[in-house]
């Protein structure tokens, strides 16, 4: 069976759009308070990409090593290119992005498979991502 890296394209698109919106908000409204890029936000982007990928390609199998490396590269390079993270934070964002994406993908995959068999099968990807994001909120105070 063919291994998929669709989740990384979705992750890069979501993260790139978020970085673009953040830059535009900082330019046109510099006094606006924006959320920080912390562990909870990394989990949010990972879970959102996993949910979208599950709706687009529900039977896809993930290639774990390329997915982890590409997720780490997305989390490190896109905020740096947008000027939201410095060069010294890139390595930390790369490693933390890989770990958060890997844990999120593992937990999300097992949770969504178990929920998909019941009557809430169509809503299982979104509900699984939402519940795991609520669980990741406990990590929001950790500094990068």
HEC string of 62-73 equals ECHHHHHHHHHH
Residue 121 forms part of a structural domain: yes
Cα radius of gyration (the chain): 15
Per-residue pLDDT of the chain (144 residues; tens, 9 = 90+): 466 788 889 999 999 999 999 999 999 988 888 888 888 889 999 999 999 988 888 777 778 888 899 999 999 998 888 888 888 888 899 999 999 999 999 998 888 777 766 666 778 888 888 989 988 888 777 666
Half-sphere exposure of 63 (CA within 13 A, CB side): 11
Q: Which two tokens stand for residue 94?
A: 């790369």
Query: What pLDDT was estimated at residue 1?
Result: 47
Q: Which two tokens stand for residue 35?
A: 């959320």
Residue 87 forms part of a structural domain: yes
Residue 144 forms part of a structural domain: no
Give the C-alpha separation, 106 to 137, whole Å.
18
Number of domains into which the chain is organized: 1
- Distances 121 to 15, 68, 69, 71 between C-alpha atoms, Å: 27, 27, 30, 27
Q: Which two tokens stand for residue 137?
A: 């909120």
Print the domain residue range for 36: 3-139
| CB atoms near residue 66 (< 10 Å) | 13
């Amino acid at each position: 069976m063919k291994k998929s890296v669709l989740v990384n394209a979705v992750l890069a698109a979501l993260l790139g759009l978020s970085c673009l919106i953040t830059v535009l908000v900082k330019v046109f409204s510099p006094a606006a308070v924006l959320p920080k890029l912390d562990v909870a936000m990394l989990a949010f982007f990972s879970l959102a990409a996993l949910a979208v990928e599950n709706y687009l390609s529900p039977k896809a199998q993930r290639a774990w090593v390329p997915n982890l490396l590409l997720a780490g590269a997305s989390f490190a390079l896109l905020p740096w290119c947008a000027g939201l993270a410095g060069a010294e934070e890139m390595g930390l964002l790369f490693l933390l992005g890989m770990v958060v994406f890997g844990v999120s993908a593992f937990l999300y995959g097992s949770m969504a498979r178990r929920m998909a068999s019941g009557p809430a099968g169509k809503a299982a990807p979104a509900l699984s991502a939402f519940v795991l994001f609520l669980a990741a909120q406990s990590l929001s105070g950790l500094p990068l």
